[in-house]
Amino acid sequence: MEALYESLLCNVDWYDIWLATLDTLLMLGGSLLFTILLGLPLGVLLFLAGPRQLFENRPLYALLSFVVNVLRSLPFIILLIVMIPITVTITGTSLGVAGAIPPLVVGATPFFARLVETALREVDRGIIEATQAMGASTRQIVFNALLPEARPGIIAAVTVTAITLVSYTAMAGVVGAGGLGDLAIRYGYQRFQTDVMVVTVILLLVLVQVLQSVGDKLVVHFSRK
């Protein structure tokens, strides 16, 4: 058994795997936090300014939609490279976990905002109209009607965004961002160490499955309320 292990996983350094996994989790957690903080208000604004909504504003909606669509259509690997000067200005480096978070946030925020807008569109208009009829302010409509009713959809959007960010963190390894993607590229691809590549892929798959499972349970939980 030991001989089989040495032959199959002879190149795997489990300490490096642990550090890379920790970097991936840090990138995922940090970028997801900022993505939610920026994307949720943007999604709400897109919804409110959209056609036939509470505060319809076609020029504003057109501008926001254009910016969101441009950022969504830009391949993430290109965004990583284009944002290097901006990333260095913000964090002082373009490498490591700190250097990966700004492009991750810029890449994921428009995606998440669109998902939030879609979740809000699924809220029954009768609930919004009833809240308006009671003289609720815009803030009360958003926080007491829209967001609570759309909560399962928003949680599902967070789950999808988190899984997307996992793939983005792997791609960020191309520019030296660290994490499992960086390990897979440096050892699995450049040094032809297939066992390292297989281990990193399995860990990424496990992470995705955990995120999806937790997200599904939260959606079911809040859907019952």
Q: Give residue-wise pLDDT tens across range 14-64.
A: 788 898 899 999 999 999 999 999 999 999 999 988 888 777 788 998 999
- At 224, the pLDDT band (50, 70, 90 cuts) reads low
How does DSSP classify residue 56?
Answer: -
Give the span between the Cα atoms of 104 and 48, in whole angstroms: 26
Q: What is the pLDDT of residues 76-123, one digit of tens each?
A: 888 888 888 888 888 887 778 888 899 999 999 999 999 999 999 888
Give me the mean pLDDT over the 139-152 stretch: 86
% pLDDT > 70, the chain = 92
* Residues 193-219: b if buried by 16+ CB within 10 A, e if exposed: beebbebbeebbeebeeebeeebeebb
The rounded Cα 121 to chain-centroid distance in angstroms is 21
Residue 209 has a pLDDT of 95
Residue 53 has a pLDDT of 77
Give the span between the Cα atoms of 108 and 106, in whole angstroms: 6
pLDDT at 225 > cutoff 80 = no
Predicted TM-score (pTM) of this structure: 0.89
Residue 115 has a pLDDT of 95
